Amino acid sequence: MLVFETKLYGTKEQFAILDEVLRAALFIRNKCLRLWEDKQAKSRNDLYRYCKTLAESFPWAKKLNSQARQAMTERTWAAIARFYDNCKSGKSGKKGYPKYKRYQTRLSVEYKTTGYKLSETRDEIMFTDGFKAGTFKMRGGRDLNFYQLSQIKRVRIVRRADGYYCQFVVDRERINNKKPANHTVGLDVGISHFYTDSDGNPVDYPQYLRQSEKRLKREQRRLSKKQKGSKNRAKARNRLGRRHLKVQRQRKDWAVKLARCVVMSADVVAYEDLKVSNLVKHHCLAKSISDAAWYQFRQWIEYFGRVFGVVTVAVPPHYTSQKCSSCGSVVKKTLSQRTHACRCGCRLDRDHNAALNILELGLEYRGTHGVQACGHDGHCFKIGDSLNVSRVEEAGNLSREAGNPPLYCDSN
């Protein structure tokens, strides 16, 4: 599935109607969640029936498209099912108990196949449900004329601090071919440098949050001084939201471009399987780790690995900084020691030494869960497989020579 996003342009009256649409969808979700908490819903079908009852009881809720109401019901049950799965699997920490959502800036509602209509040129969309929001112009970086209407499975309205957006979920897989680079790389992420690869090349992170921190604090102070419930407070909250949204987009753009460059330059990419949720509990490093977006960078590495048929391997980070990449002996170091010096004569930067160990583990490791590639015979490298360079490169080259698209197996 591909997701294309466009921005909606309309009048204030139309956007006010979209707010009513979002409120109705939020009402459906919270009511379904309350039914489950009251132990009156044991399956998704129970929520479906209750959703129909709500539409009959509240005329303004019936204005919302029936498939949009079903989509909100499915979201609610997905949150409940995820909570049950986390409890059954014995997940440590919080289990993700479903919570009620309040009316806030970031809201969304989904339409499946009805409730909207695209213009012939695919640059306008009209919502045809009972709210009658009218026709909106769309501006985006993707041209929907390349896809059939039957390929558009869902249309999602998203409200953010800087306006309203429309997302199109298109039923098409993105698979691209890439020439073999004959190169393998290991990545060691850090704070002093965003990452250092196994070739010893460091990449620095722009620190977008640190750059915007002064402006964010100023906008936060202005917001706290406004009277609650006033229009000036709503305007100040919107300005603060726009500042945060800009930082979020800068961080995502950085992660996407850098991950694509890494994947395109290698046939095997090895990285640490870090538990970022545990690392951010360190009160001294939490802000720097969150600003660096390690987990987002890893997600895009795995995504582009599936798209271009590149093997991505997540290895355990234990002792990658302490172990000598030359002789294998353990050289204990504190976090402040940035140079690796071993008795065998190996003297490297701490992160460079760790990247070499990560690459070695990625090529030799048995039992990782981050492998995402398949061979020409359809065999997936999964948990318990022993990886080596010759096997991976041979499988990838034979697959490309046969003209087969690069298959993948999901990391989950």
Residue 389 has pLDDT above 70, yes or no: no
Distances (CA, A) of 374 to 175, 272, 388: 13, 21, 14
- Range with top average pLDDT, 205-209, 282-286, 318-322, 404-408: 205-209
Q: 66-88 vs 44-57: helix axis angle to the nearest 10? A: 140
pLDDT of residue 8: 93
Q: Give residues with Cβ within 8 angstroms of 105, minimum separation 6.
A: 159, 160, 161, 237, 238, 241
If pLDDT is split at 50, 70 and 90, which confidence band does 365 have?
Answer: low
Token pair recorded at residue 112: 């499946």
CA angle 61, 63, 65 (to 5 degrees): 100
pLDDT in tens, 177-209: 888 888 888 898 888 888 888 888 888 888 899
Weakest mean pLDDT among 221-230, 289-298, 400-409: 400-409
Task: Tell me the pairing of strands 184-189 and 268-272.
Answer: parallel
Q: What is the pLDDT of residues 110-122, one digit of tens each?
A: 998 888 999 888 8
The pTM score is: 0.80
Mean pLDDT of the chain: 83
Positive or negative torsion for Cα 40, 41, 46, 50: positive
More confident residue, 161 or 376: 161
DSSP 120: T
- Would you say residue 143 has pLDDT above 50? yes
Domain parsing of the chain, residue ranges: 2-170, 184-204+265-401
20 vs 277, higher pLDDT: 20
